């Protein structure tokens, strides 16, 4: 896959983080830049570790399988992962869970660790898909860190300025990006 396709996939996965940060940004009276830096570091590190772990796990799986068409099977699994992640984001968009807006003076770090762990599950799956597609892991890791930091900051400030109403559209865009990636794998590699 080329760098643009990889960037679209990473952006699609990271838009989930953007929406979560948007909800958190709508709760604060003032953004503490030191706290925001720590939050960016925590979330980016969690994304980096889980993406690398997923890539590593898929390389182990490919190395020890005895299936003759392991490359094709890996590409099919990757396509299915992208489609399922897109469906998950679309379900979140349709649910449109209400956020009870109330003033918080400090955004506690503990809630962001929890968010990073939950989103890490889906990033792990994305890493597995990238591994099956034999993507350059260094390029993907750089992209995930840059996108995560940008989307955490963008999400917090968007929520701070306009509230959390745009999260539904963000989930839809993320789902569409992942579905396009899945179709690209289907058309470009499987068919």
The C-alpha angle 20, 21, 25, rounded to 5 degrees, equals 125
In the structure encoding, which two tokens stand for residue 93, read together?
A: 């968009």
The Cα–Cα gap between 83 and 78 comes to 9
pLDDT digits (tens, 9 = 90+) for 37-73: 999 999 999 999 999 999 999 888 766 555 657 778 8
pTM of the model: 0.87
Q: Can you tell me which residue has the tokens 């809630």?
A: 111
In the structure encoding, which two tokens stand for residue 100, read together?
A: 């009870």
How far apart, in Å, are the Cα atoms of 115 and each of 46, 63, 64, 75, 82?
10, 32, 33, 29, 20
pLDDT value for 188? 82
Query: For all residues of the chain together, what is the average pLDDT?
Result: 87
pLDDT digits (tens, 9 = 90+) for 115-145: 888 888 999 999 999 998 888 999 999 999 9
pLDDT digits (tens, 9 = 90+) for 67-125: 657 778 888 899 999 999 999 999 999 987 766 666 676 677 788 888 888 888 999 99
Q: 3-class DSSP state for residue 104?
A: strand
pLDDT value for 63? 61
In the structure encoding, which two tokens stand for residue 124, read together?
A: 């792990």
Sign of the torsion angle spanned by Cα atoms 5, 137, 53, 185: positive
């Amino acid at each position: 896959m080329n760098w643009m396709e990889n960037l679209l996939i990473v952006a699609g996965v990271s838009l989930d983080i953007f929406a979560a940060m948007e909800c958190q940004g709508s709760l604060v009276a003032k953004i503490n830049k030191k706290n925001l830096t720590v939050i960016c570091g925590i979330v980016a590190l969690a994304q980096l570790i889980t993406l690398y772990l997923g890539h590593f796990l898929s390389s182990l799986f490919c190395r020890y399988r005895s299936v003759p068409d392991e490359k094709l099977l890996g590409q099919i699994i990757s396509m299915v992962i992208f489609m399922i992640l897109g469906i998950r984001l679309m379900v979140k968009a349709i649910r449109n869970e209400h956020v009870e807006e109330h003033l918080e003076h400090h955004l506690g770090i503990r809630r962001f660790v929890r968010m990073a762990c939950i989103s890490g599950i889906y990033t792990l799956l994305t890493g597995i898909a990238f591994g099956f597609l034999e993507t350059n892991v260094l390029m993907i890791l750089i992209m995930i860190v840059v996108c995560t930091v940008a989307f955490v900051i963008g999400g917090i400030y968007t929520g701070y300025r306009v509230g959390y109403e745009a999260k539904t559209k963000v989930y839809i865009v993320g789902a569409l990006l992942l579905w396009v990636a899945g179709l690209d794998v289907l058309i470009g590699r499987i068919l």
